[in-house]
Structure formats: structure tokens, C-alpha cells
Chains A and B, each alone.
Chain A
């Protein structure tokens, strides 16, 4: 399977600045691509478009040659966000957050270091790093083919960052899930990715 962004342009509202301008990117299931982009490029917006959260003004997103919007129900492209605290319902226990995932294997929950005791807690009773582990687990459901990681470890401490990434690399490699990692941290991307697109250098 291949995930392809073709000539994407995007702008919030008609009077604001153009953030994405005719941007294209191709990603296969065997790859882990790192993306470094200058300020104002619209990295988060690009991930949202690529995962189907936003529609681009121009261009299209193709998954296996078919427009992503045609995939109904579970989206094979899952996004992981920078601030996990916005991605979980504050009134639900973590057990229910995990239950939203698609046939999650126990291996994933274990591999991410999620402790059984955390399942009974509410989001406010967990730290950002712990919440992020849940969000990652939830995104790694059975039908996931691509993962978009938007600055997922920027708000985390170094040890959690290293734990999370080593699991993600191992899991995506093993299951043949394609990965797009957006970050400003070049040494991190060099550790994690098979190829790094540095748009800062390109300009």
C-alpha cells in the first residue's frame, strides 16, 4: 500500500496566509519518513489533511490509488498528536480509551509499558507521557496501515521519548505499517527514520 499526497494546498479562511503550497509526498508501508519543515509550513495541518481530518483546498490524498475519503468507517491512516490530553475524553476511564482501538493486541499495551492499574484511572490522573502511550496504542489497531506522528514526543521527557519511539519503530517494522514522523529534532529523526525529508535545507 502507498499513501500519497498530491499537490496539496491549504489555507485557513480566505484572508489568512497560505500555509501549504502545492506540496507532494509519497510514503510506502516499508518506510519511516522523517519530516523537518520551516516555521509556518503547516506541519500539523499537513498531517490532519493526510489523515482525513481536513480537506485540502487543492490536491488530493490517495491511499492505494483511491481517494482517502472513500474509505468509510475505520481510517487506515491514523494520526498521533502532540498533546494527548486533548485526544482522550476527560470523563472516561482509560480502559474505555483503549477500547476505542481496533482489536488491540495485549502485546501493544504491554510493549508501551501501560500498567494494568492505569486502566482504571481518569485522564487527569495520568501524566502526559502516560496518556501518550494510550493514544499510540489506540492508533495501532488491526486495520491501521499508516501512522502519522506529529511531534508526538516534543512534550515528553527523554526517557519516555526513547521508550515510545523504540516501540513504535519495532511495531511498525514488524507489521509493515508506514510511518511519517514530523519533528524539529533532527537527531531524533535520524535515529528513528529510514529517510528524512529536510525542507529547511531544500529552500
Chain B
């Protein structure tokens, strides 16, 4: 098969959309000092699409709302949060009821910490979801072996695990079933590089079997190593949706923030732009990146459409 053919195959496969998130918003109802209640719009205009067989990385710094994305899809946001926009799963609206039915089965989360595990259940049965048939047992044994986890770990309770073990156990949970959609929320910090690669290769395997993987991370370098597509978050908004190969050079990227990220890579010059991501409470009108952007003009204070350019998407008025 030629490279071209492969590319075409990939494109035809891409037609099945598993997850489509349209203009998602999350806001928190909070008390300020005293009695005044305010709505904090932590996420607005978030657009992510995950196709079958694809790993999509959602990359953003802390405070850009990436974890809330995962919690929104799974319906596990905190009590004072409210959700706007649309989430479609296999073409149908993902309601709270459907989320509860699907999570843990078709949709699995690789959470950020062991706090998501049941503290009163041993690791083995917990990951097998209580299944005791030889098939499940064998599968889990194999997964654990792959992650250098001793079989005895299955008999431990979550609190008995060490830091690095935690991560590997959490990732194992996703490998157990036959998920259609895997959402991994920062699955690898604290893991050694070799282990990171192994985890990532497992995500790739799941994708090759037809699942969609949404990898949520702050680590652009890791995203570039594993993902097919990268969605860049900035201050609670998606600013760019680009193919991984677009990150090969600054010119093929679309949004000034993505380009700034590219230039900040140690191997690409380690340059930085000044300033920080704006705080939710004083978010500028229009483009959130405008205060730090050299291409910023008057019209950046208005509505910014999410438009298609060169096969990717970008939320910027001044890019070709």
C-alpha cells in the first residue's frame, strides 16, 4: 500500500463521528465575598470532534478548562456548575441520563487521580467491574503484566498504591472493556518516559480497534507524539483544531497562540510572549488572546467565528 492509499483509508474511516461537541459552555454559580452571587463562565465556545479510530488531543494550560470538558462529557460536574451548548455522541444528544448509562461501558474515563476509584473495593475486582470469568481475569493479568504491575496489586486497596502505580492502574481501567470512546484526563504526569510511551501505544491500539480517544493534556510535546489531531484551548475556548503535522512548522499553524506555543518549545528556540491567560472574572470581550496578540485589531473585540482554513479550524479573524 502506498502512503497515499493509507491516507485515503484514514480519511474514509474518519467519516464516522463518535463525539461532537458544539459550542460547549460551563459556568459556575458562586458566591463572592458577602452575598452577591455571580456566574463564572469558565468555558465558552468549546468545539471538539472525535472520529472513529482517532486520537484527538485537547491541549491547554491549567485554567483553560480542559478537565471540565471531561467532566462535562461524563456528567460529573460539581453541584454548582451548569452546562450549555450541545454534546452529540454517535449523532445523538448526550443527555445526563444517557451519560450515566454509557459511562463505564461505552465511554470510559481515565481519571486524573485515584480519588475517582472506590476506596472500599480491591483493585482487581474493581477494574474487572466484578466480573469473575476466566476471560476477564486473563485479560487483566495481561494488562498488568504489560504495565509491570505485580499480580498482587490486584489484591490491594486504592490507598495502598504508590504514586506511579496509581497512574498505571487508572490507565488499566480503560483497557479492560471494549470502549467506543476513551477520555483520558492528564493520564501520564509522574510516569517515566518509557511508561508514558507504553500507555500511549495502548491508546493507539484502542483507536486502531475503532474507538475514539480524547486525550486531555497540558503537554503539547506528548500530544504531538501520540495524537492525530490537536485541539488547542486558550482561556476556556478552542482557538485551533489542527492536524498533528501542522505543528511541524510555525507557518502551517493558524492561530497566533498555537504559533506562540510552537516557538516556546525548547527545541524551537524557547521564546516566549509576555503576559498570562486572562482570569475568568476579567475575560476580555471577543478574542481572549487579544491582549497578548501582535495581530490584534479593533474587530477582535467582536464576535469571532470558528472558521475552516487550510483543512483545520481556527478562531481568529486575521489569519489566512
The chain A residues found within 8 Å of chain B, CB to CB, are 38-40, 113, 115, 117, 125-130, 154-163, 165-166, 184-185, 187-188, 190-191
Q: How far is the CA of A127 from the CA of B63 in the complex (A)?
A: 5
Cβ of A29 to closest chain B Cβ, rounded Å:
24
Question: In the assembled complex, how far is the CB of residue A124 from the closest CB belonging to chain B, in whole angstroms?
Answer: 11
| B274 and A162 contact, CB distance less than 8 A | no
Known: A159-B264, A159-B273. A129 touches B61 (CB 8 A): yes
Residue among A39, A130, A159, A166 with most chain B CB within 10 A: A159
Residues of B within 8 A of A113 (CB): 274-276
- Give every chain A residue within 8 A of B277 (Cβ-Cβ): 127, 129
Q: Would you give the shortest CB distance from B297 to chain A, in whole angstroms?
A: 22
Best-buried of B62, B195, B261, B265 by chain A (most CB within 10 Å): B62
CB pair A160–B276 under 8 Å, yes or no, is yes
Contacts of A39 in B (CB 8 A): 164, 191-192, 194-195
Which one, A157, A165, A187, A191, contacts B218 given CB within 8 A?
Answer: A157
A162 to B267, CA, bound (A): 11
**B270 adjacent to A162 (CB under 8 Å):** yes
Shortest beta-carbon distance from B120 to chain A in Å: 25
Asked whether B271 is an interface residue with its Cβ less than 8 Å from the other chain, the reply is yes
Residues of B contacting A125 in the complex (Cβ-Cβ under 8 angstroms): 279
Interface of B is mostly: loop
Cβ of B293 under 8 Å from chain A: no
Q: A127-B62, A190-B266 are in contact. Are A184 and B193 (CB under 8 A)?
A: yes
| A191 proximity list for chain B (CB < 8 A) | 266, 270
Give me 22 A-to-B residue pairs in the complex whose CB atoms sit less than 8 angstroms apart, sorted by A's number.
A38-B192, A39-B164, A39-B191, A39-B192, A127-B61, A127-B62, A127-B63, A127-B277, A128-B63, A130-B276, A155-B62, A155-B189, A157-B218, A159-B61, A159-B264, A159-B272, A161-B264, A162-B266, A162-B272, A166-B272, A184-B193, A185-B266
CA of A193 to CA of B14, assembled, Å: 44
8 closest A-B pairs by CB: A127-B63, A39-B192, A157-B61, A162-B272, A128-B62, A187-B266, A158-B264, A162-B264
* With known contacts A38-B192, A191-B266, A163–B274 Cβ distance under 8 A: yes
The reply to whether A156 and B261 form a contact with Cβ atoms under 8 Å apart is no
> A125-B279, A155-B62, A162-B272 known; 8 other A-B pairs, CB under 8 Å?
A39-B192, A128-B63, A129-B63, A129-B276, A130-B276, A154-B189, A155-B218, A161-B264
Q: Is B102 positioned at the interface, with any CB of A under 8 Å from its CB?
A: no
* B176 contacts chain A at the CB level, 8 A cutoff: no
Q: Which residues of B contact A117 (CB under 8 A)?
A: 279
Complex CA–CA separation, A130 to B277 (angstroms): 9
* B153, CB-defined interface residue at 8 Å: no
Residues of B within 8 A of A185 (CB): 221, 266
Measured in the bound complex, the distance between the Cα atoms of B60 and A128 in whole Å is 12
A156 & B62 in contact (Cβ 8 Å cutoff): yes
B220 adjacent to chain A (CB < 8 Å) = yes
Please report the C-alpha to C-alpha distance between residue A163 and residue B270 in the assembled complex, in whole angstroms.
9
B260 contacts chain A at the CB level, 8 A cutoff: yes
